[in-house]
């Protein structure tokens, strides 16, 4: 009798583990905005309360500031209005000249290639400011990352990073953010992991941060070796996550607790 109970128990565990949901989750996709308190929602929605707007303002000045040996500003090619990049952030990560580029990567590509200036460090104020300035112009637009013949291989690899177990805790992204989304981890609600608001002003960080910083957070949480900032692995994972959130409106720059 005992043995049968044990076997039944073991089987139930196995079946739970095997319940790996598909790429298009049956439950409705939800931005973690929905789970926030009214105060935090108000903070994100009101530009006069959203601290990330300070980075957007800084980004605008950087956009018009001539730098590098070529002495050109972003605005010299892309225009000054602050509206010309509308929709751009919804397409990234994107294959540019045969290489998968994140938005941050493309900004640095422009800096090195066009301005002849040193690349900006990841999570530096300047790079975050430019990213926030560009991404903020697409606020409210749906994410338009689709599978193409070009990005197919990277998307496949990104999907594998999402479903592959990693770290000493031997957990995959999907085990929390798909199978257990909506449940609790400690006191916090587990979100579905849709990167719709990056760069985000995270209250826990007391500053603005990129999606890659957030991903590295989780990787250190499961005690895995973190992907490097700006690495191809990061770009592939970002690509998969953005593809998974396709059609959801971009909220950048967002606020999260």
Partner 1 sequence: MSKTSHTKITMPSTEKKGQIIEIRAIAQHDMETGFRYGDDGKVIPRDIIHLFSCSYNGVEVFKADLYPGMGANPLIVFTTIATETGTLEFKWAGDNGYEAIDQSSITVS
| Catalytic annotation, residues | 218
Smallest distance from partner 1 to CB 48, Å: 4
Q: Which residue's CB is nearer to partner 1, number 48 or number 168?
A: 48
Find where tokens 């009101």 sit: 46
φ, ψ of residue 202 to 5 degrees: the values are: -95, 125
Provide, rounded to whole angstroms, the least separation between the CB of residue 123 and partner 1.
13
Q: Which residues pair with 209 in a beta bridge?
A: 200
Q: For the chain, how many helices (H) and strands (E)? A: 10, 7
* Residues shown for the chain: 257
Minimum distance of partner 1 from residue 42's CB (angstroms): 11
Query: Smallest distance, Å, CB 252 to partner 1?
Result: 17
Question: Which residue number, 163 or 205, has a Cβ lying nearer to partner 1?
Answer: 205
The residue (of 91 and 217) whose beta carbon lies closer to partner 1 is 217
Q: Which of 26, 62, 24, 41 is nearest to 197 (CA)?
A: 41
Token pair, residue 77, equals 């090619």
**Tokens 């789970």 found at:** 35
End-to-end CA distance of the chain: 49
Q: Is-contact 111 63, C-beta < 8 A?
A: no
* Residues forming the site for partner 1 (CB under 8 A): 46, 48-49, 51, 53-54, 57-58, 203, 206-207
When the beta carbons of 57 and 77 are compared against partner 1, the nearer one is 57
């Amino acid at each position: 009798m005992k043995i049968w109970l044990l076997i039944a128990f073991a089987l139930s565990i196995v079946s739970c583990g095997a319940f790996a949901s598909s790429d298009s989750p049956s439950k409705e996709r939800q931005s973690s905005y929905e789970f926030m308190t009214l105060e935090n929602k108000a903070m994100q929605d009101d530009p006069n309360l959203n601290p990330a707007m300070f980075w957007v303002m800084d980004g605008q000045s950087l956009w018009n500031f001539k730098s590098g040996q070529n002495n050109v500003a972003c605005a010299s090619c892309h225009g000054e209005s602050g509206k010309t990049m509308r929709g751009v952030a919804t397409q990234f990560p994107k294959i540019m000249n045969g290489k998968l580029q994140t938005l941050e990567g493309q900004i640095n590509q422009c800096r090195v290639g066009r301005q002849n200036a040193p690349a900006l460090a990841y999570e530096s104020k300047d790079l975050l400011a430019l990213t926030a300035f560009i991404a903020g112009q697409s606020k409210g637009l749906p994410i338009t990352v689709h599978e193409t013949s070009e990005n197919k291989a990277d998307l496949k690899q990104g999907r594998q990073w999402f479903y592959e177990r990693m770290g000493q805790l031997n957990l995959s992204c999907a085990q929390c953010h798909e199978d257990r989304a909506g449940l609790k981890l400690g006191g916090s609600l587990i979100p579905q992991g849709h990167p719709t608001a990056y760069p985000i002003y995270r209250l826990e960080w007391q500053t603005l941060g990129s999606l890659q910083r957030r991903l590295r957070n989780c990787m250190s949480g499961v005690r895995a070796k973190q992907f490097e900032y700006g690495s191809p692995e990061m770009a592939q994972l970002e690509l998969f996550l953005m593809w998974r959130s396709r059609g959801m409106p971009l909220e950048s720059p967002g606020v999260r607790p």
